Amino acid sequence: MGQVLADLAGPEPGDGRKVTELLNAAPLSRFHRRAVIVSGVGFFTDAYDLFVIGTVAAMVSTQWHLSTTETSWVSGSAILAAFVGASVFGRLADAFGRKVVYVTVAAIMIVGALAGAFAQNFIWLVIARFVLGLGIGGDYPVSAVMMSEYANRDDRGRLVGLVFSMQALGLIVGPLVGLILLSSGIANDVTWRLLLGFGALPAAAAIYLRSRMPESPRYKAWAAENGRRAPRPAGEERPRVGGLRGLVASRRLVLLLVGTAGSWFFFDYAYYGNTLSLPAILKGVDPTASTITKLALSLAMFVAFAVPGYLLAVWRMDRIGHRRLQVIGFAVMAVIFGVLAAVTQLTSVIGLFVAFFGVSYFFIQFGPNTTTFVLPSEVFPLEGRTTGHGVSAGIGKLGAFAGVFLVPQLQNNIGLRGMLAVAAGAAIVGILTTMLLPEPARRTLEELHPASVTPLASAAPDGQVAGTEATSLAPRAVAH
């Protein structure tokens, strides 16, 4: 079956209905596993580069005598750029194909990682991290959608979730590399440069692997059917591809966008703000903790709580339901953050704090950290899928950017407990926005997108297009 999938993605994808039927019914194969690895290598790079900066920022802040705001820019510039990268490259992947963007964003990550490693001052480092963030943001929609469009109906959440679970490896490798370098006696100036430069290695591997992957067969069939690569008879109108303007032309699509982007924004505010500020948070709980101690505690929490959460999400999400799992995770986050905010002893004894905070880490992974990545790859129609995912991921990164800047300020002004109370409120809003979404688990991508929402850019006010039947999403033939 893996060879069948590879053939479908070749130069002649064949009849569009046959393509989607074969993909939806295909059993798990070697080809699926290969696609997970190829997308996952890039996402490992994303995770490593985003989360290692917490340690780097602490070291650079001391070396260059940076203010709190400047340190936040070092931590947050890549996240702000990810908003731009996700939105722009998501749109480009709908317009020009998934594969070309798939390779391009990995190349941009190499440039950003190496430029950061050789930074000579604050401005240089912020610009280098911004370039890196453009590639990271662009990787979100193409990694998720490529896997979603290769996947079968019953295992789609598991496969896209496996791509995202490579973040767990990045979360472990980042602090582990930091611990090794700090313990080796290498000067701090060299240590943080090596931490940033190592991010170029997996990105280089991603370029090689992705250049050997075929284009999404669903996208190829749709593109051929809609005249993207084949001339149409004279006088026949050329269908337009839906971008962001097309997405907001339908009321239902607007609600989907609010659901995916809104839940991702409020989740990333709480998650990135707390995670990237974790060294400072742990210092607030235990002011005597050294950098190595804080790194070791961070690593212990990731291994003990985050990794099992990722694994359980991948294993069970298709049975539990993708939307339902997101609601469960948000609910537990709200409770844990609320309890930490309410009970003074939990934020004054480091053992108790790590235990409670660790439980929230488990349900973050076994919940919205995984599902906010998976859901946008499913709920949007094919011609606007990477656009919708990119806008959702980009707005999510705005939430992360807000968290990176606001969490340290909130901790300084209202204390650790007040900051955690705000995070609990963000989780509650995440539940409300999630309820706007359908449950896509064990439904085909085509079932989720009736004709009333698929003809994006040419949609009439009521979402319908004259002469378009309910089966218009699946292309009927390839004029190629």
And the tokens for 326? 């997101």
CA dist 269 and 419 (Å) reads 11
Task: Let me know: does 107 contact 135? Beta carbons within 8 Å.
Answer: yes
Q: Which amino acid is at 297?
A: L
CA dist 219 and 189 (Å) reads 46
Q: Residue 467: left if φ>0, alpha if ψ -120 to 50, beta else—which one?
A: left
And the tokens for 399? 């939430």
**DSSP, res 227:** T
Q: At what angle do helices 156-183 and 291-301 cross, to 10 degrees?
A: 160
CA dist 329 and 370 (Å) reads 10
| Residue 230 within a domain | no
And the tokens for 252? 């239902």
Q: Give the pLDDT of residue 453.
A: 37
Q: Which amino acid is at 36?
A: V
Which helix (DSSP H) or strand (DSSP E) does residue 344 occupy?
none
What residues contact 269, with CB distance under 8 A and at least 6 apart? Answer: 399, 400, 402, 403, 406, 423, 426
Which tens digits make up the pLDDT trace of 123-146? 999 999 999 999 999 999 999 999
| Residue 159 within a domain | yes
| Residue 9 within a domain | no
Task: Let me know: does 46 contact 52? Beta carbons within 8 Å.
Answer: no
| Residue 447 within a domain | no
pTM of the model: 0.81
Structural domain that includes position 327:
15-222+241-434
- For the chain, report the end-to-end CA distance as a whole number of angstroms: 24
Q: Measuring CA to CA, which residue among 59, 81, 179 is closest to residue 137? A: 81
CA dist 361 and 171 (Å) reads 12
CA dist 278 and 306 (Å) reads 14
Residue that is written with structure tokens 């019953």 in the block: 154
Burial class (CB in 10 A: 0-12, 13-18, 19+), 235: exposed
Other C-beta atoms lying within 10 Å of the C-beta of residue 310: 25
Task: Let me know: does 384 contact 255? Beta carbons within 8 Å.
Answer: no
Cα separation values, 64 from 96, 155, 185, Å: 43, 49, 20
Q: Give the pLDDT of residue 235.
A: 43
CA dist 474 and 480 (Å) reads 16
| Residue 360 within a domain | yes
Secondary structure of residue 288 in the 3-state scheme: coil
Angle at 397 between CA 395 and CA 399, to 5 degrees: 75
| Residue 116 within a domain | yes
CATH of the domain at 39: 1.20.1250.20
Tally of domains in the chain: 1
The residue ranges of the chain whose pLDDT is under 70 are 1-17, 227-249, 272-289, 291, 294, 347, 450-480
| Residue 464 within a domain | no
Q: Give the pLDDT of residue 12.
A: 54
| Residue 455 within a domain | no
